[in-house]
Amino acid sequence: MLLSQILHLHDIDSIVLERKSRSYVLGRIRAGVLEQGTVDMLHRAGVGDRLSREGMVHQGIGIAFDNVLHNIDVHGLTNGKVVTVYGQTEITHDLYAARDAAGGVIIDSADDVALHGVDSDAPYATYTREGKTHRIDCTFIAGCDGFHGVSRKSIPQRVLTEYHLSYPFGWLGVLSETPPVSDEVIYASHPRGFALCSMRHSMLSRYYIQVPSDDLVDNWSDEAFWAEFKHRLPQSLAAKLVTGPSIEKSIAPLRAFVADNLNYGRLFLAGDAGHIVPPTGAKGLNLAVSDIHYLSAALIEYYGSAGEDGLKQYSAKALDRIWKTVRFSLFCTRLLHDFPDHSAFEKRIQQADLNYMLCSQAAMASFAESYVGLPY
């Protein structure tokens, strides 16, 4: 949607194929912490007005462990950079509004999408909708269809290397119409597992706890969630927590995945189609946006008759930033979670990592630099 909107601003036509219905897409609860670069991109795409009004600017984050809440002054450590809390669902909403206003073509409920001739000069996509088969001829295909989408599967295995890593735990997330326990996002490390305090706005809290991979949402009543969540926070914070009924509850697995490379012929992968990061550090959406930064620039260059060099460099450029961001997401995950199979020695090293980070300006600055987002 973002790519389509940016291309439109440069008079380049596109068609968006979406497998789900619009109401499904706009009902999904997704991430919510935006890097400065993401915010800048949304402004450049002309969809930044509501974000400016309603987004919550955060200058720092909290790190809690050993019953103490520490602050990392992200703003001070990065020469004034910040992150903005604004739900991904709201961004999607704003993008639909912008595309609709400009007469953009978004085909929803498109089934059986298949890509053809991606390594030729005349690629096309087919799909079925309401029982009829359709064909779209195009110049390029941007595969922005997520990890399970058809795009990556259209690249022959012999030219694709896939790197996978999985963790033995996931995040149980709860959304509740309660005031957030803190103005800042708080990452809590506890011997019973990680916990995260986040928010969407002043009366909507988003909280998570680490749970084993094979755990089920049905095992967690609201009461059980709140009790475990409070247990993992410093007492001073737990005492302030306002609880209420959950309006959404789900478990997300933690894993990492990178496809190398992101280009085959006229097909370019972006976002989760090409890479997945564990959620710690909130990089998934931001990485998708930085991919679109590189891909849109290369397409605009191509249509401005500057040739295909930019498109040829897309994969390498995007992957350089992707791997650095995967590194950061894994670092945050290792730093803050309980690893059931870690030895006592490894657990002490993890504590030393936390203690080191919170007493070293250099380590905190390095963390903050990645947290606000590496430059494009």
Q: Contact 187/194 with Cβ under 8 angstroms?
A: yes
Q: Which residues within the stretch 249-288 sit at the binding site for ligand DHB (CB under 6 A)? A: 279-282
Residue 347 is a catalytic residue: no
Q: Which of 8, 58, 190, 293 is catalytic?
A: 58
Q: Which of 8, 81, 275, 283 is catalytic?
A: 283
What is the rounded distance in angstroms from the CA atom of residue 1 to the CA atom of residue 24?
Answer: 15
What is the rounded distance in angstroms from the CA atom of residue 213 to the CA atom of residue 254?
Answer: 8
Q: Contact 199/85 with Cβ under 8 angstroms?
A: yes
Residue 283 is a catalytic residue: yes
Residue facing ligand DHB at closest CB distance: 198
Q: Is 259 helix (H, G, I), strand (E, B) or coil?
A: strand
Q: Confirm or reject binding of residue 32 to ligand DHB (CB under 6 A).
A: yes
Select 56 or 142, whichever has its Cβ closest to ligand DHB: 56
Residue 314 is a catalytic residue: no
Q: Which of 1, 3, 7, 31 binds ligand DHB (CB under 6 A)?
A: 31
For residues 232, 241, 86, 39, the Cα torsion angle rounded to the nearest 10 degrees is: -60
Q: Which of 187, 207, 264, 314 is catalytic?
A: 187
Q: What are phi and psi of 353, to 5 degrees?
A: -60, -45
Q: Which of 279, 293, 294, 337 is catalytic?
A: 279
CB of 200 to ligand DHB, least distance (A): 7
Side chain identity at 131, as an amino acid letter?
G
Selection from 73, 83, 89, 81 nearest residue 25 by Cα: 89
Q: Confirm or reject binding of residue 143 to ligand DHB (CB under 6 A).
A: no
Neighbours of 291 (CB within 10 A): 30
Q: Which of 7, 33, 142, 195 binds ligand DHB (CB under 6 A)?
A: 33
Residue 127 is a catalytic residue: no
Residue 134 is a catalytic residue: no
Q: Contact 52/115 with Cβ under 8 angstroms?
A: no
Q: Confirm or reject binding of residue 41 to ligand DHB (CB under 6 A).
A: no
Select 161 or 202, whichever has its Cβ closest to ligand DHB: 202
Name the percent of the chain in helix, strand, coil, to the closest 5: 40, 25, 30
- Which bin fits 275, alpha (ψ -120 to 50), beta or left (φ > 0)? beta
CB of 49 to ligand DHB, least distance (A): 22
CB of 141 to ligand DHB, least distance (A): 29
Select 200 or 293, whichever has its Cβ closest to ligand DHB: 200
Q: Which residues within the stretch 175-234 sit at the binding site for ligand DHB (CB under 6 A)? A: 185, 196, 198, 206
Contacts of residue 182, Cβ cutoff 8 Å, sequence gap at least 6: 62, 197, 237
Select 10 or 28, whichever has its Cβ closest to ligand DHB: 28
What is the rounded distance in angstroms from the CA atom of residue 335 to the CA atom of residue 10?
Answer: 43
**Near ligand DHB by CB under 6 A, which window of 29-37, 121-129, 231-239, 254-262?**
29-37
As annotated, the active-site residues are 58, 187, 279, 283, 371
Binding residues for ligand DHB, rule: CB under 6 A, are 31-33, 185, 196, 198, 206, 279-282
